[in-house]
Structure 1
């Protein structure tokens, strides 16, 4: 029996989709041009670099001691204050708009219709005076009190079911804004 000194050639055959398949050292199979292709190689490199950068950032000494950012509040009312629920009433068929400040003028396009429930966090007792041409019985026709909502927007207190208490103290333990 003769022994050949020629290197063994790799067997080649075509797969179902006519992609060249090469048998390499027994069980390892290389499909196509023998690798991932340029996009696959770039993706693999990007993944490896991203992992290395994430590990380096996590290992930085100051990263472990960095304070967690805290939210900031633009209202002077206590952020821990429990909001008071109020219902929009007597606002007519158009409802009421929300405002960026406790006065009329530029308003947001959204608002609340009669019966809507709102969450009030504080009251501004010296806002712009609001006049109701047809006040409900027992309600004032002029009222300068505005309610700040949990959304940060303002609505006139005139059209809520909160008690209309004169003076500088808001009702129901609401803080002043």
Structure 2
């Protein structure tokens, strides 16, 4: 305060008043150890050398997990899954959402409503007697609406466009 009064005598009241006003407008400094925010400066969009994430794959369309009540069914059993069970989906490929239930255990009895012969190909290269070996694009729609690969069901493996006797094509249902 003594320095301020001394400045009034040397500089004169108008100069001291301007200095006091400027001092009052200055914000208090941050406490020691606290970083002071820097003024915002407009900067260009940062450039990175990493590509954007690809957009998510679209959900497959044309099938769903709707139950198929009142249709004739064929009973079949889950086989050759080596204890892993058979996964179920909402369409004839594993890219569809999982159905509920999402897995049928070995020896479970399924109720098949119809078949498609052009689903996702499932390959089995294990040479097990009585088991189909190779690529198989046949999928079964169950009465609860779930889809399962025919490769792990004990239906007759008939090649071509015609399903085994008693199982209609889904387009005919």
**TM-score category, normalised to shorter length:** 0.5 to 0.7
Correspondence 1:66-77 to 2 at 5 A: none
State the SS of the aligned residue for 2:114. Answer: strand
Q: Cα RMSD over matched residues?
A: 2.1
Give 1 or 2 for the bigger CA radius of gyration. Answer: 2
Pick from 66, 69, 79 the counterpart of residue 89 of structure 1: 79
- Is 1:127 aligned to residue 119 of structure 2? yes
What's the CA shift for 1:173?
2.1
What's the CA shift for 1:144?
0.3
What's the CA shift for 1:140?
2.8
Pick from 116, 133, 137 the counterpart of residue 140 of structure 1: 133
- Is 1:116 aligned to residue 108 of structure 2? yes
TM-score, L = length of structure 1 = 0.52
Distance 2:69 2:143 in 1: 9
Distance 1:170 1:140 in 2: 18
How many correspondences in the alignment? 102
Higher relative contact order (CA 8 A, sep 6+): 2
Give unmatched runs, 5+ long, in structure 1. Answer: 1-73
What's the CA shift for 1:104?
1.0
Give unmatched runs, 5+ long, in structure 2. Answer: 1-63
TM-score, L = length of structure 2 = 0.54
> Following TM superposition, where does structure 1 have runs of at least 4 consecutive aligned residues deviating by more than 3 angstroms?
78-81
